[in-house]
Structure formats: C-alpha cells, structure tokens
A and B are shown apart, each in its own frame.
Chain A
Amino acid sequence: MVPRDIRRVRVATMLVYAIVGAFALASLALPWSRALQREAMAAHQLEPRALPRWVALQLWPKMYGFAHRVYVSERPLSPAVIAAEPLPADVESAWVNHYPARYVRFDTRRRELVAAGTELHVVVRSRYRGLEASTAYTVHGAGRRLVVERAR
C-alpha cells in the first residue's frame, strides 16, 4: 500500500467506527438521559425538527422501542375522552410498535379521505420510563393533498 492509500483506508475505517460509536453511545445513554429521551420521543411523535437533526434522529436505530398508543375519531379528542375506559364507540384506538404518528398518513384510505374531504382527529401518545408525550393532529383533504396539522 502506498502512503496515500494507507491514509484513505485509515480515514474511511475510523469514520465508520466513529459514526457507529456515536450512535451506540446515544443508545447506551438513552435510559438515563431525559434530553435524549425527549429527542427520540419527538421523532416517534413526528415533531418538526431542522433537517440535520431530523436526519440524525432517523438514522439512530430505535425500532420497536417505547410504548405507543394512537386514537382516531371524527370529533376532537380531549384528554378526558382518551382517558375513558372503555373508550367511546366513535373513537378508534390501537397500540403501535413504534412511530405512532405514521397513523396521520392514513396509508390505506388516504385517497378516500382526500376525496371525501372529511376531517379526522388523531392523538398519538408515547411513554418511556415515566416520560410521556401526547400530540393531537387534525387531518383533512384539501385539493389533492392530505393536510396534517398539529392541533392548537
């Protein structure tokens, strides 16, 4: 190997180790770091982040972690409604393995929703070691778009 090649091999190899190591350290610190828990929670809840931060959060392996539940209804969902046991008949609910906010896409019936113009209300809740996050979304069709907004 010529010196230039030795340098290239060393740089490429150390770079990959460094990237893997950084993400491993973040995962190891997760159970004890509220700041990291909030960041991971934000990704599960589909909280907007600046692009570089969103990229880092998405590459951080965290599949099937945290506890998540999603609620869907045609009426606004107050905390009292989703806390009710059993839930009212017009509220659908499911436990989700990860990324519960994916439900706002309505993958299997998006075209029908957009065509009908129906407004739906979605609440996604995530929990991890005592930390809890809940986000309410309104979803409706507008033109050929499915508009997803965080409820105020």
Chain B
Amino acid sequence: MSALRVTLAFRVVAAGWLLGWFCKAGYYARALLWDDFAARLDVAGFSPLVQYPLLIAVAWLAPLAVVPALVWPRPRAQQAAAALMLVASLVACIHLETFNDATFVTSFWVALWLLWLTIVAPIADEATTLRHARRLAQCIVGVIFLGGAMGKLTPEHIDGDVLLHVYFLGKDTFPYPQLRGALTPEHLAALARAFSRIVIVAELLLAASPLLPFRISTILGATIMTLMIAGSSLYLVSVLACLLALLGGAALLSAAGGTRPLRT
C-alpha cells in the first residue's frame, strides 16, 4: 500500500481522534491537572494505580506527542504515535477520574485500528491492507454501537423513561425547556418514547455495519452519527469524532491517489 494513502488515512483518523480527545479540554485541564491533585480521590477497594492523579494527568496530556507524527510522517513515528494513543486511552478507560467518559472507550478502539494499520500497511500487500482496514473499521463501529443498543433493550429505554428523565425533563439546554413549556406531560412522554425507539433502531443499524457493503455502512454511519451529535449535544463530538474519522480514513485508503513506496 502506498505511503501516501496510509499517511493520509493516518492523518485523518489521528486528527479526528485528537479533536475528540481534547475537545473537552476546558473541563479536563482543570479537573485532571488541578482539582485532582488538590483533592485526591480515594475509593475503597480499588487499586491505587487507577486513582493516582499523576497517572491520568500524564495519560491525558500524552497524545500531544502525536502531533509530530502528523507533521513528519514516518512509519516508525506513526506506529509509536498509535501505540501511545492506545495506551493513553486504556489508562483513561480504567482510571477512576475518567472511567465513565465514553470518549476514551471509542478512542481506545480507534487507536487499536490505527496501530494495526501502522503495523500491517508497511509489510502487507495493498489488497490485504485495504480489505482488512475497511472490514476492521466496520467491525469497530459495529461493536461500539452493538454495546450501546444491547444495553438499551430494557423496558426503561424502550418505553422512553430514561430519555424522558435524562433529556426531556433533565436538560436545560435547547430545545428541552421549550418542549417542556409547549407540551403536556403526556405528549412529552410520547415524544421521549418515540425518540428512544429511534435511537435504539439507529444503534442497531450501526451495529450491523460489518454486514453491509463498506460504502453503504460509511454513508449510514456518518449520517447517523452526525444526526446523533446534532440531536444530542456537542459533547457527543468528543465520543464520535474519532469514529467519524475512522470511517473517513478507511474510505480514503482506497480513494486517495499516490504510488510512492513506503520507507521502512
């Protein structure tokens, strides 16, 4: 596979990954670099390792070191950058200061794809790399939304109770206060139920990504994820930016031109 295509895909995916990782920097910079040191968390029963403030502060900042690999693309630098992204997201997934943020779960799975690409692309033939790069990207999108969809197959989601309370009654951002003002409680509950079912169906469609042709799953994935961001909150950018970039990067592997051989 040409170095140009791999570099282009690497840049797109890594840039989207970094966008998601750092787009809540306003919150995390203060929480992880200041508050956690001033008032350290001590949760009984958990290893001190997953509560150590310095560990998560370093893990959160570490992906800044990925930037040089975007600017000066060398196979070894790309591999090291992808490995760093994988380790940083693994730490963020298990650390008690960040364990709840889905950003780091999606980041982990996308970093795994990037590491695979940077290991395989320099040595595999183009057809093999392309076939598995696309299929693995579809599988990763699929497994992430499969987990979300299966977790919602419970009466509280199917009947809309969770969406009603978390969003329609619980949020003070547009359009929820307006909806509360305009609709009766019964209509609000019916709307929440309808939206909840739409979300479950949308997640099941994304979960089926590996079963669909790559082009269709990419268009479907990009459309649904963009609608999720628009319909939920911009905070979802942090969770979905890396997945959108993953689909874009996998698509670019076959779409981009260039025949320069990889320097290994």
Contacts and interface: CB of A to CB of B under 8 A. Distances in A.
Given A61-B109, A95-B166, A141 B39 contact: yes
Interface stretch (B17-25, B55-63, B153-161): B153-161
B116 A12 contact: yes
B205 interface: no
Contacts of B31: 107
B151 interface: yes
B146 A111 contact: no
Interface in B111-134: 112-113, 116, 119-120, 123-125, 128, 132
Contacts of B105: 58-59, 61, 63
B43 A65 contact: no
Contact of B39 (A17, A98, A145): A145
A28 B162 contact: no
A48 B119 contact: no
Interface string B28-57: 000100010011111111110110000000
Nearest to B108: A59
B241 interface: no
Contacts of A24: 139, 142-143, 146
Contacts of A94: 170
B250 interface: no
Contacts of B38: 111, 114, 144
A77 B40 CA distance: 25
Contacts, number: 173
Contact of A58 (B39, B99, B124): B99
A30 B150 contact: yes
Interface string A10-32: 00110011011101100110110
B94 A28 contact: no
Given A13-B120, A95-B170, A150 B44 contact: yes
A38 interface: no
Interface string B89-115: 010011011011010011011001100
A75 interface: no
B144 interface: yes
A142 B39 CA distance: 9
B242 interface: no
B166 A96 contact: yes
Contact of B154 (A95, A128, A145): A128
A141 B210 CA distance: 49
A150 B147 contact: no
B215 interface: no
B170 A64 contact: no
A101 B96 CA distance: 10
Interface in A113-144: 113-114, 127-129, 141-142, 144
B76 interface: no
A21, A58, A150 pick with most chain B CB within 10 angstroms: A58
B148 interface: yes
A110 B42 CA distance: 12
B81 interface: no
A16 B42 contact: no
Contacts of A110: 35, 39, 41
B101 to A, nearest CB: 9
Contacts of A1: 123-125
B151 A129 contact: no
A145 B44 contact: no
Contact of A13 (B116, B154, B239): B116
Given A28-B150, A54-B46, A148-B44, 9 more contacts: A9-B123, A13-B116, A19-B112, A55-B93, A61-B144, A63-B105, A67-B154, A147-B44, A150-B45
Interface of A: 1, 5, 8-9, 12-13, 16-17, 19-21, 23-24, 27-28, 30-31, 40, 46-48, 51, 54-55, 58-67, 94-99, 101-102, 104-105, 107, 110-111, 113-114, 127-129, 141-142, 144-150
